[in-house]
Amino acid sequence: MSLNKSLLFALFGLLATLAVGQAERVRYDNYRLYKANTANEAQLAVLKDLEGSSDSILFLDGVHIVGKDVQMVVAPHKVPDLLDLLGRAEIKYELQSKDFQKSMDEVDEKVAIKGRVGMTGRADDEYNWAQYYELEDTYTWMIQLASKYPHVVTLIEGGKSYQRRSILGVKISKSLSDKPGIFLEAGIHAREWIAPAAATFIINQLLTSEVDSIKELADNYNWYVFPHANPDGYVYTHTTNRLWRKTRTPYGSCFGADPNRNWGFHWNEVGASDSACSDTYAGPEAFSEIETYSLSQYIASIKDNIQLYISLHAYSQYLLYPYGHTNELPDNVKDYEQVYDAAIAAVSQRYSTRYTGGNIYDAIYPAAGASVDWAYGTQDVRMSFCYELRPSSNSILTGFRLPAEQIIPASEELLDSIVAMATEVKALGYFDK
């Protein structure tokens, strides 16, 4: 729905009042970082059983594929049990860090260029892309955009969160004519800070850029952009646990479901967990999370206006398309491959950043219940893509904590890629449908 400005200011103030108070910040002092690698299905099953069995072991990778590295952050008191389990199962492992918190702090010190780079900053009073912002700051900036560009920017609400925060977005439309639509959501996984930052960068470029190709994107399409699809989780990464991924819905002694395993298309068939403590918990049922349910309702209400769906994640430098639940390919896979090739080529032109990818199941891992699959499979959005942004997949300590100095280059190359993507989608005729 569209929100008028006075209503949104009232809503924003109410939500700020109702927000959950800060908890003690989670630290990982003396936690160890291990990398394990399985050689067969039996060993993989051992790790799957371990995932989500204890809040003292944090899996930084999904347990989906034999032979794929799985990194785990382990509390000191759990180390003997873990090593005994890995030894009995004959699972190969390596110690990556004896003190995960110290390793993270050292990374922050090395990349610091202005205040706490890689963390929240306040370099100046003007919203910019030299720092990461908290939810309230970004929402305030979006409200200001609606005032600054009243005939172009409309505030839209994609739904609510469990803690009653707004899933706030903007519609950018430079004319009243009926135009094709591009839908972009980011931040569905809370700890992936670069995704919302890149989304706001794109919003700003659509409104201010003098580059012809970007002006064409702004002029020829209606844009629906939601930087924070999981606002509760994002707030929690700022107040309490920087590595939090899920929503904040309580499930017994654990919290949250993975909102990108919760969409109602082949839900929980593969690549998700039934354990509420797991980072890939699919939830008790499809759309159990109010965030995914309400956002899906909004998307369904405008589905005839959306021809291209884009979801922003991090990290690994992938461009992905359906499906995640099966290795069967979309019926228009040749078109996907054409768009993919153009987008991949464009992303490397500015900074020589190398992306790879393909269909989700084969390119990264099996994962049912993702938003891009749902958009393609149930809403007839025939072009639906997921970007996994910087850094590359071998950068675990900086993976979810990309230095703020990389926000602009990561966002610039992403926008280069989206320009190429939209050009190919148009050439294939999808914007005519």
Whether residues 276 and 405 share a domain: the answer is yes
pTM: 0.91
Q: Pick from 112, 137, 119, 118: which is nearest to 127 by CA?
A: 137
Domain range enclosing 68 = 32-99
Q: Pick from 167, 174, 183: which is nearest to 153 by CA?
A: 174
User: Is 291 domain-assigned?
Assistant: yes
Query: pLDDT tens digits, residue range 61-114?
Result: 888 889 999 999 999 999 999 999 999 999 999 999 999 999 888 877 655 433
Q: What are phi and psi of 416, to 5 degrees?
A: -55, -45
User: Is 207 domain-assigned?
Assistant: yes
User: Is 389 domain-assigned?
Assistant: yes
Total Cβ atoms within 10 A of residue 366? 19
Confidence at 194, pLDDT banded by 50, 70, 90 = very high
Whether residues 70 and 197 share a domain: the answer is no
Whether residues 92 and 210 share a domain: the answer is no
Note the pLDDT of residue 177. Answer: 75
Note the pLDDT of residue 112. Answer: 45
User: Is 129 domain-assigned?
Assistant: no
- Residue 227, preceding bond cis, omega within 30 degrees? no
Q: Pick from 151, 132, 393: which is nearest to 238 by CA?
A: 132
Whether residues 297 and 405 share a domain: the answer is yes
Is the separation of the CB atoms in 263 and 282 below 8 Å? no
User: Is 86 domain-assigned?
Assistant: yes
Query: pLDDT tens digits, residue range 14-54?
Result: 444 344 445 688 999 999 999 999 999 999 999 999 987 88
Whether residues 59 and 170 share a domain: the answer is no
Cα(256)–Cα(382) distance, integer angstroms: 30
Cα(20)–Cα(323) distance, integer angstroms: 37
Average pLDDT for residues 397-401, to the nearest whole number?
80
Report the CATH number at residue 43.
Answer: 3.30.70.340
Whether 121 has a pLDDT exceeding 60, the answer reads no
Residues 6+ apart with CB under 8 A from 163: 18, 19, 20, 231, 232, 235, 248
Report the CATH number at residue 207.
Answer: 3.40.630.10
Cα(426)–Cα(46) distance, integer angstroms: 47
* The token pair that represents 162 in the structure block: 């469990």
Note the pLDDT of residue 398. Answer: 74
User: Is 257 domain-assigned?
Assistant: yes
Residues 6+ apart with CB under 8 A from 366: 64, 65, 270, 271, 324, 325, 360
Q: Which stretches of 163-218 are assigned E, i.e. beta strand?
A: 166-172, 181-186
Active site residue 216: no
Average pLDDT for residues 151-163, to the nearest whole number?
97
The tally of domains found in the chain comes to 2
Whether residues 95 and 144 share a domain: the answer is no
Average pLDDT for residues 401-429, to the nearest whole number?
96
Give the position of tokens 């505030």. Answer: 155
Total Cβ atoms within 10 A of residue 76? 12
Q: Which of 210-224, 323-337, 382-396 has the lowest mean pLDDT?
A: 382-396
User: Is 393 domain-assigned?
Assistant: yes
Catalytic: which of 388, 412, 413, 424?
388
Note the pLDDT of residue 8. Answer: 53
**Pairing relation of β-strands 250-251 and 254-255?**
antiparallel
Whether residues 230 and 92 share a domain: the answer is no
Whether residues 208 and 284 share a domain: the answer is yes
Cα(11)–Cα(9) distance, integer angstroms: 5
User: Is 310 domain-assigned?
Assistant: yes
Query: pLDDT tens digits, residue range 292-309?
Result: 999 999 999 999 999 999
Whether residues 226 and 316 share a domain: the answer is yes
Residues 6+ apart with CB under 8 A from 317: 353, 354, 355, 356, 388, 389, 390, 391, 392, 393
Cα(165)–Cα(159) distance, integer angstroms: 9
Q: Which of residues 73, 99, 125 is at a domain's end? A: 99
Whether residues 57 and 159 share a domain: the answer is no
Whether 120 has a pLDDT exceeding 90, the answer reads no
Whether 399 has a pLDDT exceeding 70, the answer reads yes
Q: Pick from 170, 176, 180: which is nearest to 220 by CA?
A: 180
In what order do the strands lie in the sheet containing 166-172? 153-160, 166-172, 222-226, 181-186, 308-316, 383-392, 318-321, 356-359
Q: Which of residues 50, 75, 99 is at a domain's end? A: 99
Note the pLDDT of residue 339. Answer: 98
Whether residues 242 and 336 share a domain: the answer is yes
Q: Which of residues 99, 126, 154 is at a domain's end? A: 99
Average pLDDT for residues 256-284, to the nearest whole number?
96
Confidence at 263, pLDDT banded by 50, 70, 90 = very high
Whether residues 74 and 151 share a domain: the answer is no
- Residue 315, preceding bond cis, omega within 30 degrees? yes
Is the separation of the CB atoms in 315 and 245 below 8 Å? no
Total Cβ atoms within 10 A of residue 219? 12
Query: pLDDT tens digits, residue range 316-332?
Result: 999 999 999 999 999 99
